[in-house]
Amino acid sequence: MRIFGIDPGSRRTGYGCIETDGTRCRLVLCGAVVSPSSVSFPDKLTGIFDELIVRLESCRPSVVAVEEVFNARNAKSALKLGQARGVALLAAAKTGLPVAEYTATAVKRAVVGYGRADKEQVQRMVTLLLGLEKAPSPHDVSDALAIAICHAYAGSLAETAGRSSGSKTSVKSWRRFRPSV
C-alpha cells in the first residue's frame, strides 16, 4: 500500500510517499513545495495545489494522510496555515483519494514513541525507519513522511485505507515496526 503524507504550510508544504507491506516501510518520493516570499498568497496556494496534484497523480497512493491540528503563534498565521491545509485536502479530494487525519502528538507518538518529541527526534526516527542514508530535509519533508508512517501504524491497513476524513484512529507504537535489514 502506498501512503502519501502532507505537512501543510503557507511558506513550505512538505510531502512524502511511502510504500508499506504492513511491517516495513520504504521511501517512494519526498520533497517540499516552496513558494518565494515575493509571490502573492493566492498564488502560493495555487502553487501548492498544482504541485500536490502532480505528485499525487505520479505516486498513485491508496490514501493521503494529513496533520489534523496545527499550532500557530497568532491568528493570522493560523488562518494562513488553515488555508494551506484546506488546499492539501482539496488536492486529495480532487484526485479521489481517501484522507486520514492525525494530530501532531499522535504522529510523534507513533514515530518516536513520545508525543512531545522535537523535530530533530522525528527526523532521526524517520531516517532510521525508512533506512535512509541521509535525513530528509527540511523538517517539513521529514514531518510529512512521519505522518505517512503514522498512518501505516494506525491499525490494520485494509481497515484504515477505507476510513474517511474526520475519523479517529488509534495509533500503534513504533515498537512493533521491524525494519528491513
Domain boundaries along the sequence of the chain = 2-171
pLDDT at 75: 86
3-class secondary-structure state, position 15: strand
Prior bond to 136 cis, omega within 30?
A: no
Euclidean distance between CA atoms 137 and 153, whole angstroms = 22
pLDDT confidence tier of residue 17, bands split at 50, 70 and 90: very high
Each residue's pLDDT tens digit, 123-174? 999 999 999 999 999 999 999 999 999 999 985 333 444 444 444 444 455 5
The predicted-structure confidence for 68-104, as pLDDT tens digits, reads as follows 866 667 888 889 989 999 999 999 999 999 999 999 9
CATH class of 2-171: alpha beta
Residue 164 is placed in which grid cell? Answer: 474517511
Alpha-carbon distances, residue 26 vs 11, 16, 146, 158 (angstroms): 27, 11, 12, 18
Contacts 24+ apart (CB under 8 A), 167-172: 167/100, 167/101, 169/100, 169/102, 169/106, 171/102, 171/106, 171/107, 171/109, 171/110, 172/110
Residue count of the chain, please give it: 181
Q: How far is the C-alpha of 55 from the C-alpha of 178, rounded, in Å?
A: 28
Neighbours of 58 (CB within 10 A): 10
Tens digit of each residue's pLDDT (9 = 90 or more) over 46-75: 999 999 999 999 999 999 999 986 666 788
- Positions marked active-site: 7, 67, 140
CA distance 98 to 177: 24
Strand residue runs (E) in 8-45:
12-20, 25-34
The residue-averaged pLDDT of 5-29 equals 94
* Three-state secondary-structure class, residue 94: helix
State how far the Cα of 126 lies from the Cα of 128, in Å rounded to an integer. Answer: 5
